[in-house]
Each structure stands twice: as structure tokens, then as C-alpha cells.
């Protein structure tokens, strides 16, 4: 055991054994600085004014250790406390750890808190311990003077247009400490965080167009447990599900196979009693795939394929990054894409290559990538201008020096479709019956090449026959398309963009059109909705105040923009986005009520 972990264990035991009341007391945190203190006192005043508010229905003593979720009377316990009023100390943390295979260091006191608790609570080990009178994952909710719930003391700025989303607040054991530190694909949290800062959140389910269930369905058995606990809970606790049979309810799932990641029994339920949920996943397989023997996981028109959150190191070196563009221009010679087709990566799903005689991968990998990577590798790796390899040390350079880049499926969804688009290389999509992110709402044929699996033998000829003019016009469209594929309002900018067309906003636009034209199939959205068409072409003409986003990659930052690394550092806790209220959009000011917004 290292010294650091001993220190944490000791700290934990201390905290568990002698919970300090002062820790949770509403004492304005001994604020001495003028502004902070004033804010604190104002809030206390507001709370006292909230006379019309129903009295708390939480069990007595809840706020000594926990957070009272006032509107439903639920007392949310921090880790190592339990019971109706969170007054029981969990006897053995190690047992809890074992149950969820959590490492003790995941409890580290530096665990970030969602939106840094909006300065209305204390962040202890990844959970906001809200000041009395505030609740929610980031302490954003309180009673208003009119007896209605309010966000950020009534200072939440709502967007005038677009949809309104209601977010279920779940017990903190469902939403905080373990997922934060254990998530490898935290899209559901980042989406949630953006809902908070986007002006699209409503606390009034009657006014909501959509309902977001913010659970972590990614992590193994925990995922199943969350699903199985949460759905009955929200059905029982809130009126919104039954009002609409679970329609307009959204869940994000980031696993490779979409909802087919779940065990059969869960899938049956999802297919039957829970079939009205809209799943936002990365996996767009919508028909049975006879070669791989994979079942459909996506229902076109019901579910939405959302982009993978890519953070590939160095992809800010895209030739479309304004700084790179300027550099290339200064050099006088544009970069040459003299290679034809590039692919580097797993071909069998592991380190192996397919058997040259049978063309098959080893046991357990026969179905990997529907056999697409294997076929392209075996048939075309020696074609002039093609570079199809299992590994390269010059990945991004290679993508940048080829016209076309293979974007096949993997063990489920891939991510090259997005990455290569960012690097200005035209994606060559192979994988039958698989929809790409935001397809068909976005017409991928305008900036990619789609090749049916049956035509793989013909690939060299197909690519050779794409006219240069078509390559050029498709390349041009990548700049806009790539914006829709990246969560820049959460993660920062790459192409000098302001985030208004980013993946989050694109999803919200799709949800808006769906609400306004419920009977129109998604491939027709651009036809019936002019604003949507303009949006998809990154060509909106309404006035906005561009929000300066921080930029990815310190060395490439625009002179007038902050590096996202600096934003993350601001709160002192490692490199997490969660503790920056509102995400990178609000990098300049961590008070969400002041966070700059590019909308009306
Ligand atoms: C507030 O100040 C008092 C007196 O200095 C101290 O004992 C207490 O720990 C402080 N509380 C917090 C939450 O920092
Ligand atoms: C989380 O807390 C709720 C409410 O206190 C409880 O019913 C549930 O079993 C807990 N779930 C886990 C995974 O601990
Ligand atoms: C889901 O339900 C549909 C009919 O509602 C049925 O055709 C299909 O086989 C079911 N799929 C699974 C995996 O149960
Ligand atoms: C799904 O929604 C439709 C329309 O509201 C409803 O008729 C149907 O019963 C719902 N299905 C389930 C399984 O709740
Ligand atoms: C492309 O051009 C570069 C520089 O002239 C050269 O090194 C490279 O081998 C060429 N690649 C191909 C695939 O022709």
C-alpha cells in the first residue's frame, strides 16, 4: 500500500468515525471575502423569505449529514452514511468497495463534484453536501419566494427557443461518487452538465418536452442495478412517466453495442414494457446483421445515434484548426493528400491478424467488425496508395496525408468516422445497416463515401472513380460536419468554433424538430424545417454573441483564447471537467448565472 492510499484510508476512517457537524452547517463557510460573503448572506435571506414553501418532508436530522431533496422528501446520503435520515454510519467501507469493485482511491477527497456544487454546497469526496435549503446533484435547486422551485436562486437564464428538458434528480449513490471516478465514457454526465448551463432545463415537468434519466448504464452489473432501481423509482415518485407512458424519456448509453449490451432479461423489458424510452447511443445497427449475427439495437425515428466523445490526443493538429491553417498558409505549400486510403487499428479486435488462408480471425473474434476490417486488409493492403496496417506511430500524420480514411465498425460502434472527419480525411463508411451519428437527420453522403460490404472487393475502383471535384466539395463540407460531431461546448474548441453547432446543440435541435413535427420521419427534417436545414449546414443567420470557448491543445491555442487545460486547472482538482460549472462553455466564469451564452 502506498503512503498516499494509507493517508486516504486514515482520512476516511476519521471522517466516518467523527462526522463533524460544522462541516455541514450553514455557516456561509466562514466566508471572509466580500463578494462571497454577500452572496452567502443574500442566499440565507432568500431562504428565510421562502415562507410559502412547503415545509421539509425529509426525516428529521437529514441535513446533519445528508441533503434533503425537499420536493419529494428524500434524504440523500453521502457515501459511508445510510438510513432514512442518513444517520447510520456504513459499518464497513471495504465491504461497500468490494460490492462495486471500487478502489479505495476512488474515494479520494479530491474527487470532483458536479458543477463544483455551484458554490452552494461543499464538495466532499465527489458529492455535493448542499447548504440547507439547496438540493440536487449540484445544489442548484431551492424553493423560491413564490413557493415554486427555482434554479440558482432564480437566476437561471432560460433559453427563449428550443426544447425544455426535465432532469430527474436521483439519490447521490446513483449519480455521484462511483460513476465519476469509474466512468470511461462520461457522456451522460457531460450531457447533463450542459443541460444545466444551456438554458434548456426546466424544473416543471408539466412544461417539459423531454425527461432525462441521468444514469450510468455503462458500468457492468452496476448499470443493470441502476436501471432496475431507477425506472420503478421514477415511475413511483413522479407523475411524468405515467402521464406519457415513458415517451419523451431519454437515457444515454455509451456501450459498444447500444442496448444489446444489457442481459437478455433486461433487453426483453426494454423491448416490451420499457419500449417507449428513447435511447441515445453510439450504436446505429437497425437490422439483423446476418454475417456477424448481431441483432438490431437501434430503432430509427425513435432512438438517436449520438457521436462518441472523442478526445484523441493531438487531433487539434487538424488542418482545419485556424492556427494550423495559418501555419500551412505561411509555409506556402498546402499539405498534400497524396495517399488514397488509410486505416490503422485493430483488425481482429485484438493484436492478431486474420489467417491469410481462411481470412478468419481467432476464436471469439470471428464477428469483429462484421469481418469488414479483415476483408479490406486481406484484399487491399498491397494496393498502391492504400495503407492498411494494424499499427502506426504516425497515426494523425497518416490520416492527414490520405484522401480517404476507412471508418469501419468495430466490436460495435467505431470512432474513426468522427476522428478522420476532424482531420479532413473523407470517411469511407463500411458496415451494412449501421447508422452514423445523427443519421439520417444529417445526410452523411454529403461528406463521406459509403460502401456496401458486398462491394469491398471493388473498393480500389470505387475510390479511384470519385471525381476530384466531389472529393473537394466533400472535404469542404467536413468543417461544418465535424462541428456537429464534437462536444465543443463541453470540451472546448478545435476548429475555432464557438460551439453553437456542436454535438449537444445538434441533439437539442433534433429533439426540437421531433417535437414540432412528430409525424415527420427524421430524414425529412431538413425538408420541413428551414431552421434545421440551416443549422445542419452551419448557416444560421440569427444573431448570436459568440461564446469564446477554450481551445484544445495548449500549443495550438488561438492567441485570444484560453487553453482548456487552464480552465480545468482553475478549480485545483486534477483535470476534470465536472467541477467547472457548466463545462468549458463557462470556463471564464465558474458561476453559472454569469456564464456567457450565445443564445437568446
Ligand atoms: C469556521 O471557523 C471556525 C473558527 O475559526 C472553525 O473552528 C471552523 O472549523 C470553521 N468552519 C469551516 C467549515 O471551515
Ligand atoms: C441508493 O439509495 C437508494 C435510496 O436511499 C436505495 O434505495 C438504493 O438501494 C441505493 N442504491 C445503491 C446502488 O446503493
Ligand atoms: C422486440 O419486439 C418486437 C415486436 O414488438 C419483436 O419483433 C422482436 O423480436 C423483439 N426483439 C427482442 C430482442 O426481443
Ligand atoms: C408506449 O406509448 C404508447 C403511446 O402513448 C402507448 O399506447 C403504449 O401503451 C406505450 N407502451 C408501453 C409499453 O408503455
Ligand atoms: C506523398 O508525398 C510524400 C512527400 O512528397 C512522400 O514522402 C510520400 O511517400 C508520398 N506518399 C504516397 C502514398 O505516395
Tens digits of per-residue pLDDT, 459-492? 999 999 999 999 999 999 999 999 999 999 888 8
In the chain, pLDDT over 70 holds for what percent of residues?
A: 81
Tell which one of 271, 273, 285 to mutate to probe ligand 3, the residue whose CB is within 8 A of the most ligand atoms. 271
Q: Which of 264, 250, 168, 251 is nearest to 217 (CA)?
A: 251
Q: Which of 116, 150, 146 is nearest to 133 (CA)?
A: 150
Tell which one of 331, 335, 338 to mutate to probe ligand 5, the residue whose CB is within 8 A of the most ligand atoms. 338
Give the pocket of ligand 1 (CB within 6 Å). 22, 29-30
Residue nearest to atom 2 of ligand 1 (CA): 30
Please give the number of the atom of ligand 4 that sits closest to the Cα of 245: 14
Mean pLDDT over residues 96-104, rounded? 63
Tens digits of per-residue pLDDT, 19-70? 232 332 344 445 445 555 555 555 555 454 443 334 567 888 787 778 889 8
Distance 413 CA to ligand 3 centre (A): 22
Place of cell 456561509: 28
Q: What is the pLDDT, as a whole number, of residue 286?
A: 98
Give the pocket of ligand 2 (CB within 6 Å). 171, 173-174, 225, 229
Closest ligand to Cα 271: 3
Q: What is the CATH number of domain 315-486?
A: 3.40.50
Closest ligand to Cα 75: 2
CA dist 579 → 158, 167, 526, 592, 597 (Å): 22, 19, 37, 12, 19
Tens digits of per-residue pLDDT, 275-297? 999 999 999 999 999 999 999 99
- Helix (DSSP H) and strand (DSSP E) numbers for the chain: 22, 19
Between CA 345 and CA 392 the distance in angstroms is: 8
Please give the biggest Cα pair distance in the chain: 79
Distance 196 CA to ligand 4 centre (A): 29
Q: Which residues contact 225 (CB under 8 A, 6 or more apart)?
A: none
Query: Is there a contact between 284 and 434 (Cβ–Cβ < 8 Å)?
Result: yes
Residue-range domain boundaries for the chain: 1-156, 315-486
In a 3-state reduction of DSSP, which class is residue 421?
helix
Residue nearest to atom 13 of ligand 4 (CA): 273
In a 3-state reduction of DSSP, which class is residue 289?
strand
Helices (H), 277-408: 322-331, 372-380, 395-400
Task: Give the residue, 447 or 215, on which the prediction is more confident.
Answer: 447
Between CA 387 and CA 397 the distance in angstroms is: 12
Amino acid at each position: 500500500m502506498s503512503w498516499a492510499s494509507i493517508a486516504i484510508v486514515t482520512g476516511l476512517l476519521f471522517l466516518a468515525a467523527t462526522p463533524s457537524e460544522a462541516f455541514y452547517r450553514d455557516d456561509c463557510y466562514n466566508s471572509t471575502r466580500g463578494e462571497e460573503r454577500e452572496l452567502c448572506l443574500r442566499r440565507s435571506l432568500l431562504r428565510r423569505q421562502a415562507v410559502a414553501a412547503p415545509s421539509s418532508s425529509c426525516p428529521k436530522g437529514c441535513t446533519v449529514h445528508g441533503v434533503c431533496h425537499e420536493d419529494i422528501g428524500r434524504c440523500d446520503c453521502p457515501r459511508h452514511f445510510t438510513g432514512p435520515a442518513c444517520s447510520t454510519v456504513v459499518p464497513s467501507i471495504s465491504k461497500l468497495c468490494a460490492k462495486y469493485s471500487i478502489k479505495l482511491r476512488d474515494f479520494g477527497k479530491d474527487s470532483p463534484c458536479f458543477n463544483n456544487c455551484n458554490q452552494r454546497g461543499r464538495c466532499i469526496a465527489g458529492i455535493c453536501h448542499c447548504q440547507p435549503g439547496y438540493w440536487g446533484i449540484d445544489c442548484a435547486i431551492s424553493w423560491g419566494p413564490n413557493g415554486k422551485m427555482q434554479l440558482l436562486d432564480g437566476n437561471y437564464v432560460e433559453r427563449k427557443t428550443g426544447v425544455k428538458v426535465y432532469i430527474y434528480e436521483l439519490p447521490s449513490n446513483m449519480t455521484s461518487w462511483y460513476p465519476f471516478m469509474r466512468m470511461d465514457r462520461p457522456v451522460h454526465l457531460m450531457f447533463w452538465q450542459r443541460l444545466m448551463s444551456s438554458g434548456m432545463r426546466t424544473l416543471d415537468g408539466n412544461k417539459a418536452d423531454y425527461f432525462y434519466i441521468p444514469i450510468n448504464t455503462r458500468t457492468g452489473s452496476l448499470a443493470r442495478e441502476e436501471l432496475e432501481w431507477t425506472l420503478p423509482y421514477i415511475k413511483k415518485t413522479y407523475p411524468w412517466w405515467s402521464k406519457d407512458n415513458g415517451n419523451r424519456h431519454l437515457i444515454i448509453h455509451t456501450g459498444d453495442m447500444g442496448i444489446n449490451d444489457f442481459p437478455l432479461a433486461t433487453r426483453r423489458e426494454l423491448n416490451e414494457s420499457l419500449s417507449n424510452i428513447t435511447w441515445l447511443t453510439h450504436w446505429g445497427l437497425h437490422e439483423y446483421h446476418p454475417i456477424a449475427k448481431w441483432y438490431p439495437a437501434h430503432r430509427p425515428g425513435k432512438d438517436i445515434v449520438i457521436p462518441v466523445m472523442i478526445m484523441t490526443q493531438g487531433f487539434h493538429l487538424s488542418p482545419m484548426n485556424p492556427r494550423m491553417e495559418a501555419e500551412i498558409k505561411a509555409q506556402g505549400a498546402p499539405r498534400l493528400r497524396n495517399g488514397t486510403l488509410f486505416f490503422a487499428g485493430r483488425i481482429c479486435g485484438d493484436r492478431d491478424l486474420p489467417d491469410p488462408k481462411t481470412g478468419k480471425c481467432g476464436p471469439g473474434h470471428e464477428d469483429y467488425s462484421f469481418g469488414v476490417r479483415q476483408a479490406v486488409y486481406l484484399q487491399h493492403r498491397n494496393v498502391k496508395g492504400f495503407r492498411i496496417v494494424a499499427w502506426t506511430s504516425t497515426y494523425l500524420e497518416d490520416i492527414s496525408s490520405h484522401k480517404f480514411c476507412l471508418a469501419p465498425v468495430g466490436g460495435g460502434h467505431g470512432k474513426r468516422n468522427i476522428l478522420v472527419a476532424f482531420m479532413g480525411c473523407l470517411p469511407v463508411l463500411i458496415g451494412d445497416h449501421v447508422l452514423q451519428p445523427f443519421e439520417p437527420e444529417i445526410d452523411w453522403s454529403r461528406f463521406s463515401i459509403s460502401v456496401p460490404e458486398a462491394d469491398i472487393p471493388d473498393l480500389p475502383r470505387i475510390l479511384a472513380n470519385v471525381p476530384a471535384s466531389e472529393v473537394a466539395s466533400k472535404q469542404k463540407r467536413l468543417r461544418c460536419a465535424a462541428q456537429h460531431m464534437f462536444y465543443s461546448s463541453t470540451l472546448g474548441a478545435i476548429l475555432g468554433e464557438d460551439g453553437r453547432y456542436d454535438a449537444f446543440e445538434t441533439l437539442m435541435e433534433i429533439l426540437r424538430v421531433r417535437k414540432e413535427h412528430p409525424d415527420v420521419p427524421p430524414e425529412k427534417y431538413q425538408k420541413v424545417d428551414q431552421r434545421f436545414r440551416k443549422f445542419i449546414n452551419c448557416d444560421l443567420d440569427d444573431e448570436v454573441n459568440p461564446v469564446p470557448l477554450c481551445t484544445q491543445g495548449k500549443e495550438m491555442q488561438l492567441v485570444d483564447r484560453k487553453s482548456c487545460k487552464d480552465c480545468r486547472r482553475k478549480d485545483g482538482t486534477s483535470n476534470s471537467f465536472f467541477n467547472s460549472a457548466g463545462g468549458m462553455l463557462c470556463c471564464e466564469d465558474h458561476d453559472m448565472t454569469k456564464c456567457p451564452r450565445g443564445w437568446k
